Structure 1
Amino acid sequence: MKYLLALISLVLIGVGVYFATSDKDTIPQQTTQEVGMKESQSDSHSDSLLDKEPQPPVAKKVAHEMTIHGDTRVDHYYWMRDDSRTDPEILSHLEAENAYKEAMLADTKSLQEKLYNEMVSRLEKDKSTVPYRQGDYFYYVRFEEDSEYPIYARKKGSMEAEEEILLNVNELAKGHDYFNVADTEISTNQQILAYSDDTIGRRIYTLRFKDLSTGKLLDDTLENTNGGVVWANDNQHLFYIRKDPQTLLGYQVFRHKLGTNQSEDVLVYEETDQTFYTGLGKSLDGSLIKIAHYSTETKGERLLDANKPTEGDFQLFYPLEEGHEYSTVKSGDHYYVLTNKDAKNFRLMKVHQDKHEDMSAWQEVIPHREDTQITGVVAFKDFIALTERSNGLTSIRVMNIKDGSFKSVNFEDPAYAARFSTNKNFDSNTLRYAYSSMTTPDSIYDFDMVTGESTLLKQDKVLGDFDPSNYKSERLFIEARDGAKVPVSLVYRKDMFKKDGTNPLYQYGYGSYGATMDANFRSNWLSLVDRGFVVAIAHIRGSQMLGRQWYEDGKMFNKINTFTDFIDVTDGLVNQQYAAKDKVFIAGGSAGGLLMGAVINMAPEKYRGVAAHVPFVDVVTTMLDESIPLTTNEYDEWGNPNNKDSYEYMLSYSPYDNVKAQDYPNMLVTTGLHDSQVQYFEPMKWVAKLREFKTDDNKLLFHTNMEAGHGGASGRFKRLEQTAMEYAFFLDLLGRND
């Protein structure tokens, strides 16, 4: 009986669906009766159903030619794109894929449930954040025991005061399959709460406003925003970014006055260069509102006096120059400028507020260093705090503005993650930072910038029998094929690990946009580690783990290094006997899904199982289409295929274009129908093409969350269902049901 219910589900989904077959290059879609009963005859009574292995839905083929640079590509699955996400044929195919996935994972249902309950059981159900002070109030976020969503609250004067609930997202989410609050911002006088919500998963947000004195929502409703909001100091005006509904680019900055209709809002800036993203922010001292301009290789800012929101225009701090990246923080009469001018790894400069447009007046505070990258700056009244990365490890230093002396925060784990936490008080002598490692749960500290002492405020609880002394983390450097040394962070359970080449390996990677995947604590990984897995993060080129050059060596015409680094890390871990060569499982999402796709085209034999989440796999077609979100902004990351050299290079590794007749590993591919970053049809097409070409009998499962976008399910528990599915998929491939 193990497949019966799933097969019935497959049958019901496809009833009544018609598939056109008029094109000479069209292969008819399997009818629902064929899905799950390949080669079955008309006597499809229940006994024969029981004997049949579920079969995947086979997509029809419709030739779609694309010609550029004298080269013609034929995409037989281009028809799967529907920007409205309403085409019944496409939706039915996605549902059929989901039903097939359910049928193939039917035997793992109890294991999925066990893993899910296990992961949920580790979570602190009534978790709350460390309060931060802003004016007269202490603000924090908390969860109630069984709630999916957070509650935003505050207390006046002290944490012993009566609680005031600002926003209960659980109440707002009722009746919605998906609900996400992107931002909450309190007005300067702390009387109005602005918040943004998305009920689809497309990351197009509606801004709403709540009068905290009455608890009532204001009539002001701002549609089609990117979710962020910045208040002017008059408590009447605010600034927000509107999105283009097609490209989803946030390109227009508007000023809104409370009590007026959105149609009356004033456009204060419009970005006409589609290679740039636009952001909004406010200086910590509250004096400036900022518009940030950033592309892959150029960054800069426009500034406006926060006390005079209706007077004058936003003015460039310094003219934008291709290849120059700068950002500013302000303390007193001086700006501190983080810039890469003549400094690949950035340096910190200082300039008086009246001379910022004259680069000759910029004075060096911290020089460029070949072995250390400055990654972040926060300015207080008397201190400048910096995060820096050297040899792949983050350090935090604080400079006393008055005497130029430094104090440092010390970390001891071999691999870890450290970052600034919530710092809202410009006059403070305390820096709040966050720390974790692969064996240390997320921890919040206050660092006394006068004495140099750190105080632990809170460490996340991991419920159950978790004991960090049972685990060991290591940091390795594995030599890549061109001689580069690739950092690897890993963790395993001491009493289960043997360095004899028998351990299953879960290898994770990303490697794009300069984003560094630090060695954070992830309680979900305990479900693998406690079952004998070694979990490893490959810090491959394309990140900035080893500085800016590490990023530049993994993008554009060097992108291939990202993929070969990942494969070489696999070989290195196997050769050093951290892992069994036939028990290697890999996972990545978004650009990490691109990594998965490239790797399995290049070296499919090295991997037992693959999880590719919201994978960016149709690189060339997507980057040729300026109507698709995020395309034009990323030419400096991937290349512009309108240029022949970029086209040919991108075509050489694009996962979708390089699918061929060969054996592929067992695969689980996931997406969200409303994904705004990687459109659902990229993985949908990829799976269809893999089904057409692959020569093996390995599993290829495709899961579409029909109510979510790029980030998956919105609830804190709900999102763990997909993680449990992934882990159960891998464990089942090892023949394990524990």
Structure 2
Amino acid sequence: MPKAPRSETRHAQTPPHPEPRPHCISAPGGTRTDPYYWLRDDDRNDPEVRAHLEAENRYFEAMTADQAATREQLYAEMRARLREDDASPPAFDNGYWYYSRYEQGRDYAIHARRAGTMEAPEAILLDGNARAEGQPYYQLGSLEVSPDNRWLAWTEDTVGRRQYQLYIRDLETGACSAVLASNIQPDLAWASDSRTLLYIQQDETTLLGSQVFALRRDAPEAPPQLIYEEADDAFFMGVERSRSGRYLFIVLQSTETSEWRATRADSEALVFAPVIPRSAGHEYDIEDTDDTDILIRSNEDAPNFRLLRAPMAAAADRSCWREWLAHREDALVDSFEVFDDWLAVNERVEGLLRLRLMPWAGGEERIIRGDALPSGIHLIGAAEPSSPSVRYVESRLTTPQTVYDHALSSGARTLVKQQPVEGDFDAANYRSDYRWITVRDGARVPLSLVHHRDTPLDGSAPLLLTGYGAYGLCLDPAFSSHRLSLLERGWIVAIAHVRGGEELGRAWYDAGRLHHKRNTFQDFMDVSDALAADGVCAADQIHATGGSAGGLLMGVIANEHAARYRSISAHVPFVDILTTMLDPSIPLTTNEYDEWGNPQREADYRVIADYSPYDHVRAQVYPAMLVTSGLWDSQVQYWEPTKWVAKLRDHQRGDAPILLHTEMEAGHGGRSGRFEQLHEYARDYAFVLHQAAKALADGDQ
């Protein structure tokens, strides 16, 4: 275990200390007092709150002034590895080749197309650099070209709050509309007439999308038509056009239940009807296979999902379902894509993605696996079902992501692109490993690990360990050119695939949510201890990092296992979970009762109260901690990490710094722009490098 940090006398500056103002929060499970509740400002314009956040940022800069040179060096390294004039592989759709490219020194992508062949003249659809000009933040939502190829619709966010605005451009004349809708979700769908566009309006307070509107491009003065309104605030909503172009879909999804509503894309009435009416616990996805049938990915009687074929008009009648891919206990059907003669299925086996290709006419199937462990095969597919090939990405920890086209007729594989890494990068210099760690209740947790070939796994190297464990999301092993800055300095980087993700199927997810949530935290702590006990890394040099729901994980381990970690980095951390889940006015709360529980119910309250990081801060020695936040975050409100840091400092019994940095012009994803984001990576890596070096220096004294 690490020793308690020694005092750093050069850091004589006093941290900001907000005044405690006790506030009672009552619920069926009990009453709590929050001393820093007043730091919540829904409008983000309270001068006292802003002054505190700015004081925290100044304190962060003062406390990390001795890391500035390291940050600049790391930034320079990371930027030097980027090919600044890079471009995406072109993809064919409806007569055009579409791609995105970057220009030297520019932060944002230019989105373009060429008619028929890549030798045709380039037509720029949207220049992200021009759109971002003068904006402190810029995020493109979706980019949708009309079926007649003439009109471009897109959404963009210039605040970081995920409240998008809608624009349409005439690609023949270049004329661009004014803002056509505000506070909407990013996704859009064109009807077949190329005049009607669907979008989703959000609630001003909760930011929940609940209304689908149809806007007439050729009648901008006419009010948009309300097409559908969802009454259940447990559901997220999306709109999309089917790949075949036959249908428009409204997709409704809660944690445990889904419903697809459909209409013909050429219908003037735009009346959406459920394909399969929702029923509690039934999750499904669909894609049309021809003019009459659809393929259904369903978890009904199949926790890991199965694939079924049915007539679109009778899909709700289970007697019409024909099983196409049976349920398996050892394989999760992750996604699929329909081609004219083939079905492509992304499935997850023993934690890793692979691709299954199935001919509709029957016959031999093909399985495409990664070339080494750990690796994953991620289905990209193709825009058109008639495509002769399926595109996929192979991801590995040691090799830049590689895009392939697989010819469906012959099975031949064509390398489309490997992400370039500038400089003297050589993948042969790195090693990866995929291993299993048995935790306290006997479960086996997968672990992905990467290091330089000259870095031994003998208990001498520092380790950066990350985890997430929520929403069924998987932290798949993937290459990062930024990570090379740690690997080249002798670090090991590892991912603990803890319960709450879906790496080992739906049961792995269910075992890490609701009343089983504690498994997520115990898995991470047990993995940390095992890596130390097995001599993989230096036992006193384990550094932990996680973001959002992974930040919740960081909050729990900080309270319950602080002595194991030399430093903890928690990015936009969901740490005041009990207060947030008691307040349905906060964005996402009502959508997530099936993930965390509803603390208005006493049993759920007790479960959440048992681990809520903000409520379990106590007097003890905490390790050095870096906490980051975004003022405009719509996923985890900025006041959660802000209050948490204040409370941590109140209870810190050691001398290690607890630092908060808030991006004042960004949200959940941090800064926008590819170069701006590098500054955040450099900041985070400089922090852990500094803490590791300090630990070594302390050990020598």
Residue 418 of structure 1, CA deviation: 2.1
Structure-1 residue corresponding to 2:223: 264
How many residue pairs match? The answer is: 687
One-letter amino acid of the counterpart of residue 573, structure 2: P
Residue 220 of structure 1, CA deviation: 6.1
8 Å CA contact 2:29–2:602 kept in 1: the answer is no
* 1:351–1:710 Cα change, 3 Å: same
* 1:733–1:277 Cα change, 3 Å: same
Determine if the alignment matches structure 1 residue 158 to structure 2 residue 105: no
Taking the aligned partners of 1:586 and 1:354, their CA distance within structure 2 comes to 51
Secondary structure, aligned partner of 1:683 = helix
Taking the aligned partners of 1:713 and 1:377, their CA distance within structure 2 comes to 33
Taking the aligned partners of 1:665 and 1:620, their CA distance within structure 2 comes to 24
8 Å CA contact 1:220–1:262 kept in 2: the answer is no
Structure-1 residue corresponding to 2:12: 53
Residue 587 of structure 1, CA deviation: 0.6
Q: Deviations over 1:13-40 (max 9, x none)?
A: xxxxxxxxxxxxxxxxxxxxxxxxxxxx
One-letter amino acid of the counterpart of residue 125, structure 1: E
Q: Deviations over 1:301-344 (max 9, x none)?
A: 00010011x32510100110001111111111211110011011
Determine if the alignment matches structure 1 residue 623 to structure 2 residue 581: yes
Structure-1 residue corresponding to 2:353: 394
Structure-2 residue corresponding to 1:512: 470
Structure-1 residue corresponding to 2:273: 315
Residue 657 of structure 1, CA deviation: 0.5
Structure-2 residue corresponding to 1:43: none
Structure-2 residue corresponding to 1:255: 214
Structure-2 residue corresponding to 1:709: 667
Secondary structure, aligned partner of 1:428 = coil
One-letter amino acid of the counterpart of residue 607, structure 1: Y
One-letter amino acid of the counterpart of residue 200, structure 1: V
Taking the aligned partners of 1:338 and 1:467, their CA distance within structure 2 comes to 41
Determine if the alignment matches structure 1 residue 411 to structure 2 residue 375: no
Taking the aligned partners of 1:86 and 1:269, their CA distance within structure 2 comes to 34
Secondary structure, aligned partner of 2:478 = coil
Structure-2 residue corresponding to 1:591: 549
TM-score, scaled relative to structure 1: 0.92
Determine if the alignment matches structure 1 residue 327 to structure 2 residue 285: yes
Residue 214 of structure 1, CA deviation: 0.8
Residue 52 of structure 1, CA deviation: 7.1
Secondary structure, aligned partner of 2:622 = coil
8 Å CA contact 1:382–1:429 kept in 2: the answer is no
Q: Deviations over 1:112-141 (max 9, x none)?
A: 000011111111110100001112211100
Higher RCO (CA-CA < 8 Å; seq separation 6+): 2
Residue 211 of structure 1, CA deviation: 0.5
Structure-2 residue corresponding to 1:17: none
Q: Which of 494, 500, 521 is matched with 1:563 structurally?
A: 521
Structure-1 residue corresponding to 2:608: 650
Structure-2 residue corresponding to 1:5: none
Taking the aligned partners of 1:202 and 1:566, their CA distance within structure 2 comes to 31
One-letter amino acid of the counterpart of residue 658, structure 2: L
8 Å CA contact 1:591–1:616 kept in 2: the answer is yes
Q: Which of 203, 215, 237 is matched with 1:278 structurally?
A: 237
Q: Which runs of 5+ in 1 are unaligned?
A: 1-49
Secondary structure, aligned partner of 2:471 = coil
One-letter amino acid of the counterpart of residue 202, structure 2: K
* 1:443–1:656 Cα change, 3 Å: same
Structure-2 residue corresponding to 1:22: none
Determine if the alignment matches structure 1 residue 236 to structure 2 residue 195: yes
Q: Which of 13, 31, 40 is matched with 1:72 structurally?
A: 31
Q: Deviations over 1:203-230 (max 9, x none)?
A: 0000101111011103561211101110
Taking the aligned partners of 1:508 and 1:375, their CA distance within structure 2 comes to 23
Determine if the alignment matches structure 1 residue 226 to structure 2 residue 185: yes
Residue 526 of structure 1, CA deviation: 0.7
Residue 577 of structure 1, CA deviation: 1.3
One-letter amino acid of the counterpart of residue 607, structure 2: Y
One-letter amino acid of the counterpart of residue 206, structure 1: Q
Q: Deviations over 1:611-651 (max 9, x none)?
A: 10000000110000000000000000000000001001100
Residue 409 of structure 1, CA deviation: 1.6
Residue 70 of structure 1, CA deviation: 5.7
Residue 403 of structure 1, CA deviation: 2.4
1:326-345 correspondence to structure 2 within 5 Å? 326-332=284-290, 333-345=292-304
Residue 516 of structure 1, CA deviation: 0.5
Structure-1 residue corresponding to 2:677: 719
Q: Deviations over 1:89-127 (max 9, x none)?
A: 000000000000000000111110000111111111101
Residue 449 of structure 1, CA deviation: 1.4
1:87-106 correspondence to structure 2 within 5 Å? 87-106=46-65
Residue 453 of structure 1, CA deviation: 2.0
Taking the aligned partners of 1:655 and 1:52, their CA distance within structure 2 comes to 27
Secondary structure, aligned partner of 2:674 = coil
Give the 4+ runs in structure 1 shifted more than 6 A.
none
Determine if the alignment matches structure 1 residue 108 to structure 2 residue 67: yes
Q: Which of 97, 100, 114 is matched with 1:138 structurally?
A: 97
Taking the aligned partners of 1:438 and 1:521, their CA distance within structure 2 comes to 4
Q: Deviations over 1:53-102 (max 9, x none)?
A: 11101110001011222621000000000010000100000000000000
One-letter amino acid of the counterpart of residue 560, structure 1: R
Secondary structure, aligned partner of 2:66 = helix
Taking the aligned partners of 1:57 and 1:377, their CA distance within structure 2 comes to 51
8 Å CA contact 2:619–2:652 kept in 1: the answer is yes
Taking the aligned partners of 1:707 and 1:342, their CA distance within structure 2 comes to 47
Q: Which runs of 5+ in 2 are unaligned?
A: 1-8
Residue 391 of structure 1, CA deviation: 1.0
8 Å CA contact 1:207–1:222 kept in 2: the answer is yes
Taking the aligned partners of 2:221 and 2:81, their CA distance within structure 1 comes to 45
8 Å CA contact 1:132–1:422 kept in 2: the answer is no
* 1:433–1:704 Cα change, 3 Å: same
Structure-2 residue corresponding to 1:10: none
Taking the aligned partners of 1:616 and 1:499, their CA distance within structure 2 comes to 33
8 Å CA contact 2:227–2:270 kept in 1: the answer is no
Structure-1 residue corresponding to 2:645: 687
Residue 262 of structure 1, CA deviation: 7.0
* 1:262–1:183 Cα change, 3 Å: farther
1:179-578 correspondence to structure 2 within 5 Å? 179-219=138-178, 221-261=180-220, 264-308=223-267, 310-332=268-290, 333-403=292-362, 405-421=364-380, 423-495=382-454, 497-578=455-536
One-letter amino acid of the counterpart of residue 189, structure 1: D
Residue 576 of structure 1, CA deviation: 1.7
8 Å CA contact 2:29–2:601 kept in 1: the answer is no
Determine if the alignment matches structure 1 residue 633 to structure 2 residue 580: no
Secondary structure, aligned partner of 1:718 = helix
Taking the aligned partners of 1:83 and 1:69, their CA distance within structure 2 comes to 25
One-letter amino acid of the counterpart of residue 439, structure 1: T
8 Å CA contact 1:194–1:207 kept in 2: the answer is yes
One-letter amino acid of the counterpart of residue 383, structure 2: K
Residue 686 of structure 1, CA deviation: 0.3
Structure-2 residue corresponding to 1:582: 540
Residue 503 of structure 1, CA deviation: 0.7
One-letter amino acid of the counterpart of residue 156, structure 1: A
Taking the aligned partners of 1:312 and 1:60, their CA distance within structure 2 comes to 56
Q: Which moved more, 1:506-515 or 1:575-584?
A: 575-584
Taking the aligned partners of 1:357 and 1:131, their CA distance within structure 2 comes to 38
8 Å CA contact 2:583–2:589 kept in 1: the answer is yes
8 Å CA contact 2:368–2:377 kept in 1: the answer is no
Structure-2 residue corresponding to 1:609: 567
Residue 278 of structure 1, CA deviation: 0.7
Residue 353 of structure 1, CA deviation: 2.5
Taking the aligned partners of 2:571 and 2:177, their CA distance within structure 1 comes to 39
Taking the aligned partners of 1:429 and 1:562, their CA distance within structure 2 comes to 43
Q: Deviations over 1:271-316 (max 9, x none)?
A: 11011111111211110111111111111200010011x3251010
1:32-47 correspondence to structure 2 within 5 Å? none
8 Å CA contact 2:29–2:599 kept in 1: the answer is no
Secondary structure, aligned partner of 2:482 = helix
Q: Which moved more, 1:411-420 or 1:214-223?
A: 214-223
8 Å CA contact 1:505–1:536 kept in 2: the answer is yes
